[in-house]
Every structure is written in C-alpha cells, then in structure tokens.
Amino acid sequence: MLFQESENAKAAIEMATNRLEKLQDDPAVASQLQQWKIKGVHAEQGGRELFHWNADGADRPMAILSSTKSVLSALLGIAIGQGKIGGVHDPILTYLDVDDVELTDAIRDDARKKTITLEHLLTMTSGLDWPDFDKPYKELKLADNSAAFVLARPLVHEPGSAFTYNSGGSQLLAAALERAAGESLSRFARRELFRPLGIGPVRWNRLPGGQEGGTGLSLSMRDLAKLARLYLQHGEWEGRQLIPADWVSRSVQPHHKGLLNYEPQVYGSYGYHWWVSPADKQPGPDYFFAFGYGGQYLFAIPALDLTVVVRKALEGRNKAILSRRVLEDFILPAFADS
C-alpha cells in the first residue's frame, strides 16, 4: 500500500509538472500575465522547480516590499531560539535604549506603552495610532530616531485588542533585534539565514535609525521561495534546524482575523508577520503567505508541499488580486488530482 501511495504521488507530481510546462510554453498564458502586469512567477514542489517565468527573462533581486516582514519574523524566531531575546511576551522596551531621551519622552504620555510586547507588534495589535494603511511610514523613513517616532504615536487601543497594519511596529522589532544581537540586522540575517539557505545577492535598505524592518529587502524569486520551503520543512534545512519548529508553527497560525474580510481578497488573517488564508476563503487548500504592496506574494501551501512566488508591477493596493489569480487560475488547477 505504501508503495502504491508513493507511485500515486509520483504520478500526480508528474501530471502537475506536465500541465505547468504546457502553461509555461502557452503564448496565451504569457499574454494574460503581461496584461495583468505580472513581472514574474515561480513555482516549486518539494524543492523541485515546476514553473519559472519572467517578463524580462532574468531572475534578479527585486524589492519584495512588505514581504520583508516575514523575513524579519524568521530572524526574530532565530534570535529567540538562541536566547538573545527572551520571548514574545517581553515588553519591546526591554530591547530598546531606555537611556535615549527621545525614546523616554515618546512613552511619557501613556503608561500603557510600556506594556506593548513583541507579540503585539508581530500581530499588528500594539494599539498605536497608524492610519490609512501605513500612511505615517513616509515620515518614519525621514526620522532620525525611528523607534521614538513610532512610540510617540498616540495609543488609541489597549495593546492586544485591535488590528492595525503598522510597519512602524516592524521597525521597532528590527531595532530591538539589532540591539539584542549586537550587530546589524543584515549581518545577522546573512550569517543565520541567508548564507545557510544559499541566498544571495541581497540588498537591504537602512534608515537613519537602523535597518529597515517593515520593507526594504530585495531578493530574487528563487531565493525568496527558499524562505517558504524552509517553513514547509518546519525550519529545517539540509539537516540543520535554522528556525525553531515551534516558532514556525506559531508564526503561521492566525492570531487575529486581521483583514480576512477585506475585499477584494488580497489579504487574510494575521500570524507573526505572516498572512494566513483558510480554504473557505479561496479555491484550493489552506495556505499562508508573505505579502508586499501591490501584489508581491510568497505563497506556501502545506497540503501540496508547494511554494509559489508572484511579482507584479505596482498599480495600487487592490490590483494585487491579479497576483492571487495567477495562483488560483493557473498554478493550483495543475494540482487538481493531487
């Protein structure tokens, strides 16, 4: 029976591979992708490349925008596993410079700011005012002290009670990790994550107050897919546990409904800087994903052992639905018999 199941699995993979190869060579598919302004698509199963298409023919590092947050989450899990950070329930101030006058001034207006934890920031439930889908982020990028800028925002909800998408919270996490690790985020990432995965070249922007945490990372599609592969393997890579398995599991579980009911369905519920999409919200099985503005997606589909990267030209927030249609209309139907 086990042999038969293995043979069935091989046959299903071969069938999906053949279907995707036909799609890749189909001029009508390329035309549709270009019409939707898709820049690239990459799909692999079990580490085996099944589909790779680039509008310009080259898989170069490109900005992954807010998908950077999922990389940051992985690095936080590594730091916690190494004991550099105690845990997600620690107050963020534990890992910031409390002797910084600007920082202490920023939290003076509301004592509840001292109770904001790493988990609140990871799940976008800090309670800090951050309106209009990240509108204050432009100001943050110009601030000399990014941590003070974020914490100076008014606290409008009790920490842990309400979801507000906030890249400023990611910046606090990045600052905390740099301070806990005693080195730049990019150097920590290169040694603990990128180099073991064989990822490179990499570009990662810095702000005046430290490494950019909520965005700023540029990777190729094949390299970005390795992050999802690592998560599908529960944090293990070539016999080495890079990220604690329990961190991987907790990260991709929904901690808040997030933007699950947003229309069009470009988002999902929210984990630890990962989005989660249940099967009743889209065609196909449950999956989790990293998401960057305008349709930069990294999908991980555990039931199919499948990772998919989709890149898109920027046309606005809601046009990201076209990137999800690539997954739902082209990639997932190839696995209908799996």
Q: What is the pLDDT of residues 157-187, one digit of tens each?
A: 999 999 999 999 999 999 999 999 999 999 9
Instruction: Give pLDDT, residue 9.
Output: 65
Instruction: Give pLDDT, residue 5.
Output: 46
Instruction: Give pLDDT, residue 24.
Output: 83
d(CA 179, CA 85): 10
Q: Give me the amino acid identity at 54.
A: N
Instruction: Give pLDDT, residue 4.
Output: 43
Q: Single out the residue of 257, 253, 255, 226 nearest to residue 242, CA to CA.
A: 226
Provide CATH 3.40.710.10 ranges for the chain: 2-58+220-335
Instruction: Give pLDDT, residue 338.
Output: 60
SS3 content of the chain, % helix, strand, coil (to 5): 45, 15, 40
pLDDT of residue 6 exceeding 70, the answer is no
pLDDT of residue 229 exceeding 80, the answer is yes
Cite the DSSP H helix spans in 275-319.
none
d(CA 81, CA 78): 5
Model pTM?
0.95
Q: What average pLDDT does range 81-105 have in this prediction?
A: 97
- HSE (side-chain half, CA atoms, 13 Å) at 189: 26
CATH tag, 2-58+220-335: 3.40.710.10
Interacting residues of 222 by C-beta distance below 8 A, sequence separation 6+? 42, 49, 52, 59
Q: Single out the residue of 33, 68, 101 nearest to residue 311, CA to CA.
A: 33
Q: Give me the phi and psi of 96, to 5 degrees please.
A: -115, 165
User: If you search the block for the tokens 């690095």, which residue do you land on?
Assistant: 75
Instruction: Give pLDDT, residue 22.
Output: 85
pLDDT of residue 156 exceeding 70, the answer is yes
